[in-house]
Amino acid sequence: MAIGRPGYYLIRMMKWLSRFASVIACAWGAWQPSVALAAEEDVQLWVYAVARGDFDEDTSWNLDASARWREQARGDEQQTLRLNIDQQVTDGITLGGGFGVFETEGGNTELRPHQQLTLSRGRFSARTRIEQRFFDGADRMELRVRQMVRYTQPLGPGWRASIDVEFFHLAQTRDRMSDTARDQWRARTILTRQMSETLSLGVSYMMIYDPRPERVDRINHVPQLYMTKRF
């Protein structure tokens, strides 16, 4: 059966991702055998609507809203709204910042300003983001640092795929006496289809890994859907 050029590239990319995932899984299993022995696991679904545009040739904006379906034990369902503005300082270097509102079922609200630095070279990019997280009823502001590395691969006309890994570290917890795990890892693969000059659709899978000292580690499996509109 004949397949189109995008389908051919998609099959090649899926095979490459499968091999890559196998290598990562083997390395991870050798380095952290406790993950395979015991972990709490669940499945979530996150759906995004994204709007993007430019103020000028060096300044861009990004507004995203999401609905996140999660188990009650994982924080319950959540709706988010976040704005980010980036300013290109020089070739390959971008500074930005923004603000987000995260509303969880039951009325719990998080306000989250952030600042970020993005370095880009070819198909690779690295983003460092610092977040100040304000929760209802918390003892103090929670401070989190995020470091992400991403690779993007064109697959043919209108198609592209990317893979990224992100590390989270809580520099300061919201509860002064908290024993909350301070580190988290996220790995994600994304497939995007450009539907028109201004509209794209995407689908991805993300795995969230929470190592928790003295407790069973936690793994979240998160399918994601994206709709992006450029203005």
| pLDDT by position in tens, the chain (length 231) | 444 555 555 555 555 555 554 554 454 455 454 444 466 999 999 999 999 999 999 999 999 999 999 887 677 899 999 999 999 999 999 999 999 999 998 778 999 999 999 999 999 999 999 999 999 989 999 999 999 999 999 999 999 999 999 999 999 999 888 767 689 999 999 999 999 999 999 999 999 999 988 789 999 999 999 999 999
Taking the C-alpha atoms of residue 74 and residue 102, their distance in angstroms, rounded to an integer, is: 15
Q: Which fold has domain 5-230?
A: Porin (2.40.160)
Which pLDDT score is estimated for 222?
97
Q: Where are the domains of the chain?
A: 5-230
Between the CA of residue 79 and those of 108, 133, 166, 186, 210, what are the distances in Å?
11, 16, 22, 20, 22
Give the span between the Cα atoms of 100 and 103, in whole angstroms.
10
What pLDDT is recorded for position 72?
74
Cα–Cα distances (Å) from 16 to 12, 19, 162, in that order, read 6, 5, 12
Residue type, 112: R
Given this model, what pLDDT does residue 205 score?
A: 98
- Residue 184 is predicted with a pLDDT of 95
Output the pLDDT for position 16.
Answer: 55
Q: According to the model, what pLDDT value does residue 35 have?
A: 46
CB 158 within 8 A of CB 193: yes
CA distance 117 to 88: 10
Conformation bin of residue 92: beta by default, left when phi > 0, alpha when psi is -120 to 50: left
